[in-house]
A and B are shown apart, each in its own frame.
Chain A
Amino acid sequence: MKAASYQREPAGTQPNYSYPAYVSTSKRHPKQPLILLPHTLSELTGPVFGHSDIGENDNDLTRQHSGEAVGERIIVSGRVLDEEGRAIPGALVEVWQTNAAGRYRHRVDQHDAPLDPNFTGCGRVLTDSEGRYRFVTIKPGAYPWQNHPNAWRPAHIHFSLFGAGLLSRLVTQMYFPGDPLLPFDPVLNSVPDENARNRLISLFDWDTTMPGHALGYHFDIVLRGRLATPVEVHA
């Protein structure tokens, strides 16, 4: 039978489990070394989602309620690609975020900022045949958190993606260009490689801007998953 495996991720492009500046890692990172495994069918396969998993307004976070969501409408779009730049069609993309005031619609979020009855802050799409996705949403706000004195998270949108197999699974955060909080954010700065950090910052995009309606931001996502040349394994 044939065995295949994914390339290793280049050094510095992924955060380590332990990152003291992000205080919550201190009791939640393993202290034993991870065990490096061969890639079996259990890791090279993964769940497949379809259009039945997506609701009508799941790609437009501004239209999930009867009234208008408050804030600056934006369009976030891009492509989901493998390391070789090839499109990943049919990838499930889940997003969640704060409202324009920097408040999550979540029982744990106690930030003293208003909720918006017309904004939930979550969405889902499947990438098309060219790996493209597109959301209409509200620009999220910055918010304070308890990591250190006067800590603020820069505005961000959480992205969760399912690619071709389990090892393609990615949860990340998209940031906005020019945000003055970016150099101070321990979550973004947990990524050692500067170029990799910069790839988490979306690009302002005139081409997807809707005149008179919403500004566009572009964010491409690369999933691990280029299969190396399969190697014949003799049982």
Chain B
Amino acid sequence: MTTPPTSSQTVGPFFHLGMVYLERDNFVAEGVAGERITIRGKVLDGDGQPVPDAVLEIWQADSTGRYPSEFSPRDSASARFLGFGRIETDDHGEFRFTTVKPGRAPAPDGSLQAPHIVVTLFSRGLLKPLRTRLYFPDEAGNVDDVVLRQVPPARRSTLMAAPAAKRGAQNVPENVFDWNIVMQGDGETVFFDY
């Protein structure tokens, strides 16, 4: 006999109390290989209003495209990248985190996925999390990516982080990317079901 998975319920407005212990704004220890990147953005609701009570969870491969479970025991501890991060939005609905640029992880069909970060969003008003992915522009692998191919071309831009410097931001290093999550309405982010 099987039992269905337990039903999801909202994190509510007070999740900080229980979730703060895993929160970081920098997910990489010193010694971890890979290009450091900073992602910054906002979470917006259906009125375009910032969402100050959301929490994002990040899951990604390391700079070589490996997930932590694939590490061999010979890998030194300092080289280990946990692949996980959790960050809350602030009073202005903004978030910002530093990580390594992910490499290309395998796809089920044997191809390689384009570099991406899996993002799980929780908030008050979400009875179950929203799942999306962040991709990087100008990656050769984007064209053939097994997931991006499922997304209507007109909506793919909602999954693309934008280099802040190229967007005209002053005094911003090249490794800073902007990416907003729009929960509803114009420019609604593409969310996934599995």
Contact = CB atoms under 8 A, between A and B. Distances in A.
A96 B6 contact: no
Interface in A31-54: 31-32, 34-43, 45-48, 53
A46 B108 contact: no
Contact of B15 (A22, A24, A96): A96
B7 A172 contact: yes
A11 to B, nearest CB: 10
Interface in B137-193: 146-147, 150-151, 155, 183-185, 188-193
Nearest to B54: A28
Interface string B91-110: 00000000000000111111
A107 to B, nearest CB: 9
Interface residues of B, number: 73
A211 to B, nearest CB: 30
B113 interface: yes
Interface string A20-32: 0010111111111
A147 B82 CA distance: 39
Nearest to A7: B2
Interface in A162-189: 166-167, 169-173, 187-188
A85 B21 CA distance: 30
Nearest to A25: B125
Interface string B46-67: 1101010100010111000001
B130 to A, nearest CB: 7
B14 A106 contact: yes
B125 A37 contact: no
Contacts of B51: 28
B120 interface: yes
Interface in B1-26: 1-19, 21-22
Overall SS of chain B's interface: loop
Contact of A39 (B126, B133, B188, B194): B194
A39 to B, nearest CB: 6
Contacts of A39: 108, 194
B151 A28 contact: no
A13 B7 contact: yes
Given A37-B192, A166-B120, A222 B59 contact: no
A15 interface: yes
A97 to B, nearest CB: 8
Contacts of A32: 155, 188, 190-191
Contacts of A205: none
Given A37-B194, A222-B5, 13 more contacts: A13-B4, A14-B8, A14-B128, A24-B124, A28-B46, A29-B125, A30-B184, A40-B106, A42-B67, A45-B59, A45-B83, A196-B4, A200-B9
Interface of A: 1, 3, 5-6, 9-10, 13-17, 19, 22, 24-32, 34-43, 45-48, 53, 81, 83-85, 94-96, 104-106, 108-109, 120-124, 158, 160, 166-167, 169-173, 187-188, 190-191, 193, 196-197, 199-200, 221-224, 226, 233-235
